[in-house]
Amino acid sequence: MEIRECTVEDVPLLSKMNQQFIEEQEPDTNMSLPHLEERMRGYFRSEYMAYYFCVDDKIVGYALFGNSKTPADLRQFFINRDVRGNGYGKQAFKLLLSHLGIDEKDIEVYAWNDSAIRFWRSLGFEMKRHNLTYRM
């Protein structure tokens, strides 16, 4: 597996992948592709960096990572549905941390996303706190 830094020219593909990510993470959120593209361009204008994960020159996933905060913000991490179950997620996450020189990371996962929780726990993540939201 290789990691490749994305540029603003990658916004269309990143946005399509982000749309799939959102469908899995927040099924009640319906953002149009043009809206996602504009939002992704905004990330590129800020402190965020995007990275592709490639296997045999095929893009298998991506990550969006912000480095202005301490600890750095893993905003999005996505492996394409059609290649899941091959260990690419674990490889990609470890490769990303190595590439960025990070040895410890906290993440946020929606409580209802059982598959994501299982994935992150398989990497050794442990529950540290619960975040609760109240809306009127």
80-136: per-residue pLDDT in tens? 999 999 999 999 999 999 998 888 787 888 888 888 888 889 988 888 777 777 777
DSSP 48: E
Render the burial of 57-83: b for 16+ CB within 10 Å, e for the rest.
eebbbbbbbeeeeeebbbebbbbeeeb
What is the value of pTM for the model shown? 0.85
The CATH-assigned architecture of domain 2-122 is 3-Layer(aba) Sandwich (3.40)
Question: Residue ranges of the domains in the chain?
Answer: 2-122
Using an 8 Å Cβ cutoff, are 65 and 72 in contact? yes
